[in-house]
Amino acid sequence: MRRPTDSSDRPSRLSIFLRRQKRLLRPVLLVVILLVVGAGCVTALRHFGSDPHFAPLRGRIINMLPLRITEIDVTGCVLTSEAALQQALGVRTGDFILGFSVAGARERIDALPFVDHSVVERHLPGTIIIHLFERRPFAVWQNHGHFMLIDRDGNQVRDQGMTGKDAEAFMQLPLVVGPDANTAAAALIDELSAQPEVRSHVVAASRVGQRRWNLTLRNGTTILLPEGQEVAALKRLAQLQENIKILDRPVIAIDMRLPDRLIVRENPVAPNDSDRDRDDTPPQAAPTGDQAPVAPWLSSPDTGPRRRRA
């Protein structure tokens, strides 16, 4: 004979569920505790790493650790300077290799003006390998008011305009101006590179009539080079710079188009009354054509005597 059961003595569904899941609750609680402890440790380490008061202790701990950088291997570096790459890398040989951020170094290196992208690898125990993939801009070409990076053959190099690292590339490369300047630039820039004393003064080269070049110096002087005789003219100019510092003179133009003479055009200076009193000779007429305004001095060939004109 069954005894009647009291419904109040029956366990609830929640208690039954908790009894069944009791074995799972203990590991879950353990994981929660570990997460809380881990978060506290991370916070403490961040404070330890950023607080300047712990800097001496942090430095001692790092110096006691093994795994130092013993070698930094770089490939593909042509246009990027060693100093710029070293600064972007952020570490040197002897530094702790595990403290080196691969992602951070790659981001900084990719921001360099001539780098398209890079691959940065860390190989334990002490080697860092860097593969650079550079853009190859050779000059800046200005044509009809537009600026673009060009390679050695005169083709446009991919860029994002005058912003960011492209702006740095624009500032570091030689500027060539005018139609046909892009395809003729390589020969002129190579010839300028052979005369570093001249090139250091040049800020731009303009193509004239798709035949010859005019050079613009930092002080505003224009140098008119002869057609097809750029090498000889630049050598002559370098010699004059060494002898009389001609590129440092505040003149308007230096005309080298005539093979047997050099024409220098100075800024016109209005004579004062005292000068007119001392000078009783009438002024000569200014030459016409390419030689106007008056050339202050002419030297027919460099070994000959120098003559002055009024």
Query: Which residue bears the tokens 């002419």?
Result: 298
Task: Output b/e per residue, 85-96; b: 16+ Cβ within 10 A.
Answer: beebbebeeeeb
User: pLDDT tens-digit profile of 237-262?
Assistant: 999 999 999 999 989 999 999 988 88
- DSSP E strand boundaries for 124-250: 127-134, 139-143, 146-150, 175-177, 202-208, 212-217, 222-224
Bridge partner residues of 124 (DSSP): none
Which has the closest alpha carbon to 134: 151, 118, 158? 118
Residues 228/231/232/236 CA torsion (nearest 10 deg):
130
Structure pTM? 0.54
Domains of the chain: 68-134 (3.10.20.310), 139-266 (3.40.50.11690)
Q: Please, where are the H alpha helices in 177-272?
A: 181-193, 196-199, 230-244
How confident is the model over 184-239, as pLDDT tens digits?
999 999 999 999 999 999 999 999 999 999 999 999 999 999 999 999 999 999 99
